[in-house]
Amino acid sequence: MKYYRSHALVCVDPECLAKGAHEVLDALQDELVAQGLIEEVQVLETSRIGGCANGPELMVYPEGVHYAGLTVDDIPYLVEEHFLKGRIVKKFLAPIPKRVDEELGPPQAKEVRVVLRNCGKIDPENIEDYIAEDGYLALAKVLTEMTPEQVINEVINSGLRGRGGAGFPTGKKWQLVRQAPGNPKYVICNADEGDPGAFMNRRVLEGDPHSVLEGMIIAAYAIGASQGYIYCRAEYPLAVRTLNIAIQQARAFGFLGENILGSGFSFDIEVRMGAGAFVCGEETALMASIEGRRGEPRPRPPFPAVKGLWDKPTNINNVETYANIPQIILRGASWFASMGTERSKGTKTFAIAGDVKRTGLIEVPLGITLREVIYDVGGGIKDDKAFKAVQTGGPMGGCLPAEYLDMEVDYESLTAAGSIMGSGGMIVMDEDTCMVDIARFFMEFTQDESCGKCVPCRVGTRRILEILERICAGQGRHGDIEVLEMLCEQIKNTSLCGLGQGAPNPVASTLKYFRSEYEAHIYEKRCPAKVCRALITYEILPNVCTGCTVCARNCPVEAITGARRQTHVINPDICIRCGICMQVCNFNAVVVR
Amino acid sequence: MDVRDAPDVLSVVQTAVTRHGTSREALIPILSEVNQALGYLPTAALTEIHRLLKVPGSQIFSVASFYRMLSTKPRGEHVIQFCESAPCHVVGGREVWQALQDALHLNPGETSADGKWTLLTTSCLGICGVGPVVVIDNDVYGNVEPEQIPEILARYA
């Protein structure tokens, strides 16, 4: 590898090219040759430096200087000053462009990035970038210095637990697969990240695919597997593409395939795409799907560790779990175990969405409080409204109220509170959210995604949904709450897989923490958050209305009457509660009751 | 679509089977590829897959009807998918969804009489930072507001 003291990155986006970037690039090359600097300064083509508004532009490293608005005539002066004399040329200097990354900004206070450390930092399509960040060093260490048992012990000692949601100790699972009789053994990566609002796995697959591959190869060595599968959902086409490129490169470098790094150990990985079925995130359903069948779960035991893919012992972990492995091997189990709580070690990625100022991905040590996550990392509630609830763990999770803001986040505490860790989705809701509507909404999701194999999940979720729809439509009855509670309990206890067992959580938790909202809907026919359309009315305040006629003209059903400069009135029998009058009123005269 | 322009069902199936092989585990990749090429899975395609893979037709249909991305019914020229997930829902998705249904006069799952539009919901696409999200064919629209719907649809006129 050749070393340069300086790198000049020229932006060659179509916008910059249209402004003469190619000519500038050629001139720069020529001038560096003329000055005898071409061996010291590397010229690279790149894209998306700034907005190209003031192109052509270039970045110079290691100084990290951004020059813009260059012409061919400027180049000799720039080369002489900057590259020869080492003086920054102020007149071409442009502000360092802000990186726009909606998902993953710079780390906030209290964040610790282990899994996400390379995302956005390295080129995911270039294996050398990963290698430069100590990539595949852990694999080399495992293959040359460690026995499979030592690898398993290291993972056990780290305290890593499955990041897919259930939290089973990863090392323990590897040990079970290693000890299970039967050959061949398989390694599967669950990349079927289906929880709405959870996209941390997608980001890792797209931004740092080799960390997942390396984790899988190490797992395969530890348990004695020769074939691996990554089951990635089809909703993530870019992730599938990135993975396939990464696999090809890893094969070319000898990290995958026959006789890896000359160790005699062979292992290869194939990507399998889902076809749109949420339940395939459940491990037994996922394996059925790989085998070419309907993605329906089967009862456990036997667990996949004993009878998995094609009835062979199979280790199945998710993306985030594997991505932790190389770091645990390199930095040691005690480093990993130094983060987190007594029983939940390390860091966890969360996808924060909803009514929070900074949405996107974060990675924090376990044991952090929900308040720290929402206010310190997430920046607080949007528009400085009041916090109402946070829904953790995806559609099988529960909604936790403000009393739980100071709870430490780990597997046990979330479960005790009636929610789950899940894959790490976190939806923050402000005071304008109706909890009955939210429960109905999640039930719609699970009802829709139920594979239909077992009765409690297939029929039970439908019954719950019907009752919730009735309540939201203003037709709640005495006894509804009690029936809901009974259904929640029974579905939880009798469903076949995690989908059914977790399906009642949004309802059960809102019944527990926001019972008064259910009561208001049922007994008072009132939606306290003013969301459920059947339970609200729009009114015009007579003393505020100026009679400007805007609302009457915009009403799609002509429910508003009133002469110009006279107070307008909404006829509740015609009104469809679309809220347009409230949006268009310039005087805030329309209110919801 | 004019019948003469329709890709030959049998040759599409043949290509997919050649690429993925005839083992049972190849079934879903084959169905996905055929669905992608033809827009849906016509009976003739399922019959041909049954013949080549020697998998019972009932099992092929059970798989084809299970997965959301596979369709046994023809779909419209443009497929509109709205993300119905919670993160999009809480940032104004409900209004966008209503606007879409109003503009197209379609209920979810329906295809317009002229065969131009199919309106579907999709599971979370994982781009929640820019919700509400609407996908038309392969184009993704983020931060969609109800007022933008007519203008977005007009691009496919």
The mean per-residue pLDDT over the stretch A231-256 comes to 95
Residue A115 · residue A320 · CB < 8 Å: yes
A440 touches chain B (CB under 8 A): no
SS3 content of chain A, % helix, strand, coil (to 5): 45, 15, 40
Flag whether residue A359 sits within 8 Å of chain B, measured between CB atoms: yes
Partners of residue B117 on adjacent β-strands: B78
- Whether B123 sits inside 8 A of A196 (CB atoms) is yes
Enumerate long-range contacts of A397-401, CB under 8 Å, 24 or more apart.
A397/A422, A397/A425, A397/A502, A397/A505, A397/A506, A398/A505, A398/A506, A398/A508, A398/A509, A398/A510, A399/A429, A399/A435, A399/A438, A399/A439, A399/A506, A399/A509, A399/A510, A399/A513, A399/A514, A400/A370, A400/A509, A400/A513, A401/A513, A401/A514
Q: What is the pLDDT of residue B3?
A: 46
Closest chain B residue by Cα to residue A278: B123
Work out how many CB contacts closer than 8 A connect A with B.
108
**B129:A102 CB<8 A:** yes
pLDDT at B89: 78
CB contact under 8 A, A292 and B125: no
At B86 the pLDDT is 76
Query: For testing the chain A interface, which of B34, B66, B120 should be mutated: the one with the most A CBs within 10 Å?
Result: B66
Mutate to test the interface with A, among B52, B123, B127 (most CBs of A within 10 A): B123
Which residues in A lie closer than 8 A to residue B90 (C-beta atoms)?
353-355, 427, 429, 433
Q: Which of A590, A465, A468, A472 is nearest to A535 (CA)?
A: A472
Q: Is A395 on the interface with B (CB under 8 A)?
A: yes
Does A353 sit within 8 Å of B68, measured CB to CB?
A: no
Is residue A235 less than 8 Å (CB to CB) from chain B? yes
- Select the residue of B91, B123, B131 nearest A278 (Cβ to Cβ): B123
Place B6 in a pLDDT band, splitting at 50, 70 and 90: low
- CA distances, A489 to each of A164, A328, A332 (Å): 24, 39, 43
Query: Which among A196, A236, A360 is the nearest to B129, CB-wise?
Result: A360
Q: For chain A, give the mean pLDDT.
A: 92
User: For residue A535, what pLDDT is reported?
Assistant: 93
Q: How far apart are the first and last CA of chain B?
A: 16
In Å, how far is B15's CA from the nearest CA of chain A? 18
For residue A39, how many other CB atoms are within 10 A of its CB?
11
Contacts of A294 in chain B (CB under 8 A): 62-63, 66
Assess whether pLDDT exceeds 50 at residue B1. Answer: no
Q: Is B125 in CB contact (< 8 Å) with chain A?
A: yes
- How far away is chain A from the Cα of B70, in angstroms, using its nearest Cα? 7
pLDDT above 90 (res A162): yes
Between A70 and A484, the higher pLDDT residue: A484
* % of chain A with per-residue pLDDT over 70: 98
Spell out which residues of chain B touch residue A450, defining contact as CB-CB under 8 Å: none
- Check residue A225 and report its DSSP letter: -
**How high is the pLDDT of residue A345?**
97
Interface of B with A in 10-29 (CB under 8 A): 23-29
> Are B127 and A199 in contact (CB < 8 Å)?
yes
Using CB atoms, pick whichever of A196, A199, A290 lies closest to residue B86.
Answer: A196
Closest chain A C-alpha to B38 CA, distance in angstroms: 16
pLDDT digit string (tens) for A317-366?
Answer: 999 999 999 999 999 999 999 999 999 999 999 999 888 998 889 999 99
Is B86's CB within 8 Å of A438's CB? yes
Q: Give the residue with greater pLDDT, A93 vs A2.
A: A93
B88: distance to nearest CA of chain A, Å? 8
Least-confidence region, from A136-140, A218-222, A344-348, B67-71: B67-71
Q: What is the CA radius of gyration of chain A?
A: 29
What pLDDT was estimated at residue B94?
Answer: 85
Residue B4 distance to chain A (closest CA, Å): 29
pLDDT of residue A180: 97
State how far residue A197 is from chain B, nearest Cα, in angstroms.
6
pLDDT at A99 over 60: no
Q: What is the pLDDT of residue B4?
A: 45
Q: Touching check for B62 and chain A: CB below 8 Å?
A: yes
Choose among B89, B124, B128: nearest Cβ to A441. Answer: B89
All residues at 6 or more sequence positions from A542 whose CB lies less than 8 Å from its CB, including other chains: A567
Mean pLDDT of A467-492: 96
pLDDT at A213 over 70: yes
Q: Inspect the interface and report whether the beta carbons of B126 and A102 lie closer than 8 Å.
A: no
Minimal C-alpha gap between A431 and chain B (Å): 12
Q: B124 vs A234: CB contact, 8 Å cut-off?
A: no
B70 touching A (Cβ < 8 Å): yes
For residue A321, which of A300, A349, A285 has the smallest C-alpha distance?
A349
B19, B81, B128: which to substitute to probe chain A, counting the most A Cβ within 10 Å? B128
Contact yes or no for B87 and A353 at CB 8 A: yes
pLDDT interval class at A48 (50, 70, 90)? low
pLDDT higher than threshold 50 for residue B65: yes
Establish if B103 touches chain A: CB-CB under 8 angstroms. no
Chain B residue numbers with beta carbons less than 8 Å from the beta carbon of A234 are 32, 69
Most confident range, picked from A24-28, A156-160, A554-558, B66-70 = A156-160
Reading the block at residue A330, the tokens are 């390199």
Question: pLDDT band at residue A45, thresholds of 50, 70 and 90?
Answer: confident
Shortest distance between the Cα of A131 and any Cα of chain B, in A, equals 28
| Predicted pLDDT at A101 | 63
B27 vs chain A: nearest CA distance in angstroms?
5
Residues in chain A closer than 8 A to B75 (CB atoms): none
Residue A355, chain B, CB below 8 Å: the answer is yes
Among the partner-chain residues A103, A194, A451, the one whose CB lies closest to the CB of B129 is A103
Best mutation target among A199, A235, A577 (most B Cβ atoms within 10 Å) is A235
pLDDT value for A579: 86
| Residue A392: strand pairing partners | A426
Which B residues, 130 through 149, put their C-beta within 8 Å of a C-beta on chain A? 130-131
Secondary structure (H, E, C), A539-556 = EECCCCCCCCCHHHHHCC
pLDDT band at A22 (very low <50, low <70, confident <90, very high): confident
Q: A276 with B68: CB under 8 angstroms?
A: yes
Global ipTM: 0.88
Residues B30 and A172: their CA atoms lie apart, in Å, by 37
Cβ separation A294–B63 shorter than 8 A = yes
Other Cβ atoms closer than 10 A to A407: 16
Q: In whole angstroms, what is the distance from residue A435 CA to residue B86 CA?
A: 12
A 31-90: CB under 8 A from B: none
CB-nearest to B28 from A236, A275, A278 is A275
Portion of chain B with pLDDT greater than 70, in percent: 96
B26, B59, B69: residue with CB nearest A276: B69
Q: Provide the shortest C-alpha distance from residue A196 to chain B (in Å).
A: 5
pLDDT digit string (tens) for A521-575? 999 999 999 989 899 999 999 999 999 999 999 998 999 999 999 999 999 999 9
Instruction: Answer whether the bond into residue A56 is a cis peptide, omega within 30°.
Output: yes
